[in-house]
């Protein structure tokens, strides 16, 4: 794939992405086009986005062609789990130096790919370009092609230099690599009438398994997982699925819409968080296949799962009832976690809308009611102000906001990609309720809110 301006514009103006709908598919959302800010882009460049999308392919090697810091920036930043190979956890980089910048890094890259193939026997190698190697003009396509010809192993160039744009654009660039080099490159041994793909779900803390187990019970086969707990070969077969189930809002919308155009595979957009959304997802999949028995089975499974979950949730619901939550997360989670918290009897007093589409925003409005606060900006000052104003009991947000919660002396729960607990599906609801209870009722808060000993002395003097 040539990374041209036209290609980048095409990825930023996906006509089916709600961000662009109000621009008639012509314009592009400001946030999508945002460049990473040097020094404030923790996990934010296009290269990072591409590696988020592709690294969960567990039996492949992921080789970063760039200075070692690019690799260090993204390596192991996500808790995607694997049920098989752990090769994806190895950090490979060409670690280019000043000499390579002057004389070119292609030879070094060729040697590195061969070394990875000889020593680790991967199913495939994904080779990522970064700012420096794109700037010096190393020809990734030619190097990958040369290795493929000699070693007959798929070596996939991923054109993702950080400077081209944001993490979201990087997600789509990773998706482009799959579309151009992987999807449709092999045929499955057999297909069934109930084959689906899951697109844009990365199996953080193993949460996809809570859903795939249910799908298996229903007799639905997940042919291609993109890309949580994926094997390289499964993604090659993805073009034979009957339906794409797209998760994570619009991160891989280019994959879903291109597959619709190229392979005539329709897609639906779903969420695995919260009881209502999980049930709706299963119902929509069953409805798509239009099979009365499957619809029946789905209703039975939903009923069984909900009644089991309700028994487990009872003690937590009592403890969490009426607790006030400020939620700061992105995309689909900005409304799906609201509905999950409300299922637990909690009150979400504010949530973020920073990365939300118009559709997401209207869902949030409906869920929060007229008094709910929709946060466009989520800098620490703003969060502290909202926490104070709403007298919130806890903050649920991404890892870097934990210090804001500490400053406000309220409990914190990590909801983003660095989390260690799975919150998807019915089992995930129980896990989330347990974690929320542990956070809210931790004895540490009594200690933290006490006046400090030196301030006590001052108070006594007064």
Query: Which residues of this protein are in contact with ligand SF4, per CB under 6 A?
Result: 36, 45, 47, 66, 70, 73, 130-131, 161-162
The least CB distance from residue 131 to ligand SF4, in Å, is 3
Q: How far apart are CA 263 and CA 72, in angstroms?
A: 37
CA dihedral for 313, 319, 324, 325, sign (positive or negative): negative
Beta pairing, strands 92-93 & 394-397: unpaired
Helix runs in 178-252, H state only: 209-218, 232-236
The least CB distance from residue 46 to ligand SF4, in Å, is 7
Helix runs in 26-180, H state only: 30-33, 46-54, 68-74, 98-103, 106-120, 131-135, 140-151, 167-177
Nearer to ligand SF4 by Cβ, of 165 and 175: the residue is: 165
The least CB distance from residue 127 to ligand SF4, in Å, is 13
Q: Identify whether 227 is preceded by a cis peptide bond (ω within 30 of 0).
A: yes
The least CB distance from residue 171 to ligand SF4, in Å, is 14
Q: How far apart are CA 121 and CA 2, in angstroms?
A: 28
Nearer to ligand SF4 by Cβ, of 134 and 301: the residue is: 134
Nearer to ligand SF4 by Cβ, of 137 and 322: the residue is: 137
Nearer to ligand SF4 by Cβ, of 126 and 412: the residue is: 126
Nearer to ligand SF4 by Cβ, of 35 and 402: the residue is: 35
Residue nearest ligand SF4, CB atom distance: 162
Nearer to ligand SF4 by Cβ, of 72 and 84: the residue is: 72
The least CB distance from residue 36 to ligand SF4, in Å, is 6
Distance of CA 160 to CAs 51, 246, 400, 433, 454, Å? 9, 22, 25, 38, 53
The least CB distance from residue 324 to ligand SF4, in Å, is 38
Distance of CA 106 to CAs 146, 158, 226, 227, Å? 11, 15, 29, 28
């Amino acid at each position: 794939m040539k990374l041209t301006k036209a290609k980048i514009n095409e990825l930023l103006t996906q006509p089916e992405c709600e961000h662009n709908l109000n621009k008639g598919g012509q314009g592009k959302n400001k946030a999508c086009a945002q460049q990473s800010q040097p020094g404030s882009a923790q996990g934010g460049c296009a290269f990072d986005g591409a590696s988020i999308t592709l690294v969960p392919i567990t039996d492949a090697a992921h080789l970063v062609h760039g200075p070692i810091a690019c690799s260090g920036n993204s390596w192991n930043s996500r808790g995607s789990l694997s049920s098989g190979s752990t090769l994806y956890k190895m950090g490979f980089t060409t670690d280019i130096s000043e000499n390579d910048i002057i004389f070119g890094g292609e030879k070094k890259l060729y040697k590195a790919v061969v070394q990875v193939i000889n020593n680790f026997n991967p199913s495939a190698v994904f080779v990522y370009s970064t700012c420096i190697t794109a700037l010096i003009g190393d020809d990734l396509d030619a190097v990958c092609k040369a290795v493929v010809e000699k070693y007959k192993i798929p070596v996939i160039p991923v054109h993702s230099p950080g400077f081209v744009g944001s993490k979201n654009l990087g997600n789509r660039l990773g998706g482009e690599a799959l579309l151009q080099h992987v999807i449709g490159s092999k045929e499955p041994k057999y297909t069934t009438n109930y084959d689906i793909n899951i697109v844009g779900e990365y199996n953080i803390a193993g949460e996809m398994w809570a859903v795939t187990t249910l799908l298996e019970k229903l007799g639905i086969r997940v042919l291609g997982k993109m890309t949580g707990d994926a094997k390289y070969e499964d993604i090659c077969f993805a073009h034979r699925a009957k339906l794409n189930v797209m998760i994570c809002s619009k991160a891989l919308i280019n994959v879903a819409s291109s597959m619709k155009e190229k392979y005539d595979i329709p897609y639906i957009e779903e969420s695995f968080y919260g009881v209502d959304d999980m049930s709706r997802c299963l119902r929509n999949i069953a409805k798509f296949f239009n099979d009365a028995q499957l619809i029946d089975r789905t209703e039975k499974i939903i009923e069984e799962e909900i009644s089991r979950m309700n028994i487990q949730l009872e003690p937590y619901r009592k403890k969490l009832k009426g607790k006030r939550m400020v939620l700061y997360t992105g995309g689909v989670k900005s409304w799906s976690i609201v509905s999950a918290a409300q299922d637990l009897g909690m009150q979400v007093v504010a949530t973020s809308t920073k990365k939300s589409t118009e559709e997401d925003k209207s869902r949030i409005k409906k869920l929060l009611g007229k008094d709910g606060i929709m946060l466009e900006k989520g800098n620490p000052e703003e969060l502290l102000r909202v926490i104070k104003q709403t007298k919130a009991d806890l903050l649920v947000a991404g890892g870097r906001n934990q210090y804001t919660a500490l400053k406000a002396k309220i409990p914190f729960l990590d909801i983003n990609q660095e989390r260690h607990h799975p919150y998807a599906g019915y089992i995930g609801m129980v896990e989330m309720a347990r974690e929320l209870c542990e956070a809210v009722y931790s004895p540490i808060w009594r200690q933290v809110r006490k006046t400090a000993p030196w301030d006590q002395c001052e108070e006594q003097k007064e």
